[in-house]
Structure 1
Amino acid sequence: MNHSPDTGTFQVIHAYTRAEAIGDGVLVDVTDTAREAGYLLPVAMTSAAWAEAVAWDETNRALQDEAGRLWDVLWMARPAAARTGFGQTRIAFDVLRVPNHPAATEPHRVTLHVHIGPGDDGHAVLTVLLAHED
């Protein structure tokens, strides 16, 4: 943003929308599955959170799939999402998941965050992200 000292207003130089982030693969739209899980708001995951907690290579030894792993993330995020909005826009939650590599068979805990904020149209949306992501 540029600030104009004469008028005290800000001019947007560039905006990167949520829709563009989804189109570019920076965010993964999981709204359809989230609605099945009882969410009322649109939900997306960062590609890094998806890779860490949902992505699954079918050649791995543990019997899992991306649909089940996504359901686990959404199920665990829901109580955290319900706590947002009361002075907090971001809440941490944990998910147990088997790492996505062929030798892995034991689940490990990963901490994710759910963030509530305005979407492209100003209405509330949820984003699931890793702890170090903004």
Structure 2
Amino acid sequence: MNSDGFELIYSYTRKQAIEDGVLIDVTEQAKEVGFKVPTAVSDRLYHEYVVPSKEMENSGQSVEGRLHDLLHLAALCARSRWDGSRVYFDVMFQMEEGPKFEEVHVVAIIGAGDDGNPVMTICRPEDE
């Protein structure tokens, strides 16, 4: 039992979430834009928006480019309007040929990882 008198029945660690694919570890790419903490993107944001459709791949879109844009924008927003734990921002993803973009509301959250050290998670607000 903890100090509140509650017994912990189950916990799901960040490491488990990455192993299960619920979070996608993008730490190496995040370092390229200036992040200094382990960084992950939610699977829904990653697979629905960062990974381009085959049509968009044929138009020159790539996971690397879209992920770089997402991380770069997160870094810019974090530097300019960080509130201490999170920052909200919008990202435009080209989803179809031509001027067919989708605006996606995103949040970058910093918190304690499995070992208590800071980690960053980037996701849609409904995926928190």
Alignment TM class, shorter chain as reference: 0.7 to 0.9
Is the 1:80–1:114 contact (alpha carbons within 8 Å) kept by the matching residues of 2?
Answer: no
TM-score of the pair, normalised by structure 1: 0.82
2:98 aligned to which of 105, 111, 121: 105
Is the 1:113–1:130 contact (alpha carbons within 8 Å) kept by the matching residues of 2?
Answer: yes
1:41 aligned to which of 37, 44, 47: 37
Following TM superposition, where does structure 1 have runs of at least 4 consecutive aligned residues deviating by more than 4 angstroms?
none
Return the index of the structure with the highest Cα Rg: 1
Which stretches in structure 1 are left out of the alignment for 5+ residues? none
1:77 aligned to which of 71, 74, 83: 74
Matched, 1:11 2:4: no
Q: What fraction of aligned residue pairs are identical, expressed as a percent? A: 35
| CA-CA distance at 1:43 after TM superposition | 0.5
Q: 1:119 to 1:62 in 2, by over 3 A?
A: same
- Tell me the alpha carbon deviations over residues 29-76 of structure 1, each in whole angstroms, 9 at most, x when there is no partner: 000000111110110000011123311233435321000000000011
Is the 1:91–1:114 contact (alpha carbons within 8 Å) kept by the matching residues of 2?
Answer: yes
TM-score of the pair, normalised by structure 2: 0.85
| CA-CA distance at 1:93 after TM superposition | 0.8
Matched, 1:120 2:114: yes
Q: Greater helix percent: which structure?
A: 2
The equivalent residue for 2:62 is 65
- Tell me the alpha carbon deviations over residues 89-119 of structure 1, each in whole angstroms, 9 at most, x when there is no partner: 23211111112xxx44323321111111110
Cα distance in 1, alignment partners of residues 4 and 16 from structure 2: 29
Is the 1:84–1:115 contact (alpha carbons within 8 Å) kept by the matching residues of 2?
Answer: no
